[in-house]
Amino acid sequence: MAIIRTENLSRVYRENSIEVKALTDVNLQIQRGDFAVLAGPSGSGKTTLLNMLGALDRPTSGRAWLDGHEITSLSKMDRSRLRRDHIGFIFQFYNLIPVLTAYENAEFVLLLQGVSHHDRETKVSELLKKVGLSGLEHRKPHELSGGQQQRVAIARALASSPSVVLADEPTANLDSQTEQGLLDLMEQLNRDLGTTFLFSSHDPEVIDRARRLIVLRDGVVVSDTRRD
């Protein structure tokens, strides 16, 4: 069953009078439980596609659905709610809130959802343990290594039990050992929790781990290979 579906999704950027086609008629279906990678060189449209699927940006034309919701027709507020309740984000630069501790960063979305204190505590402690950050809960992002920060970001992305985790080059700033550890972790979470992961990456290590590889070039899907 498709958790993400797109129909002729296109995005055109206009700068001055120049038009740049970032995505052209992308038709895609991501199945629930997928561990998929969007690969392609820089400028191929990976991040643009993730932004569309993550309801962070609007397409110029075409439509997209996530977990049954048509993202492209939602209001700003509804897109915000959709992101909060259905999508987990992992970014290349971790993007943690610097004034919050690791625990608070992971807890934040649950607070926005209005989850009770007890349930938050249980969930966040469990997640931080799962990502290997037990004992570091009260550290602020600047007191953590890059790998540890990205683990916090993974915990934050998973805290709301999202339908899908969208990860934009999540290992681009990590050394290879940390990268392997994180990929192991995400694979494990995908297996254990059944969470759908969609990455964008041009890193061979990440591409190797993917069970589905979607290659983009100049905004067009040029191949879509399943490796189950």
- Our CB check for another protein shows the closer of 95 and 190 to be 95
12 binds another protein (CB under 8 A): no
Closest by alpha carbon to 42, among 227, 205, 201, 173? 201
| Number of chain residues interacting with another protein (CB under 8 A) | 30
Contact 205, 31 (CB under 8 A): no
In what order do the strands lie in the sheet containing 2-15? Answer: 18-31, 2-15, 61-66, 69-70
103 binds another protein (CB under 8 A): no
- Our CB check for another protein shows the closer of 92 and 210 to be 92
Q: How many other CB atoms sit within 10 Å of the CB of residue 89?
A: 19
Looking at 32-40, 49-57, 184-192, 211-219, which segment touches another protein (CB under 8 A)? 49-57
CA distances from 26 to 92, 149, 224 (A): 23, 33, 12
Query: Of residues 35, 89, 197, 199, which one binds another protein by CB under 8 A?
Result: 89
CB of 223 to another protein, least distance (A): 26
215 strand-pairing partners: 39, 223
- Our CB check for another protein shows the closer of 57 and 218 to be 57
Q: What residues line the site for another protein (CB under 8 A)?
A: 51, 54, 56-57, 76-77, 80-81, 83-85, 89, 91-93, 95-100, 104, 107-109, 111-113, 156, 160
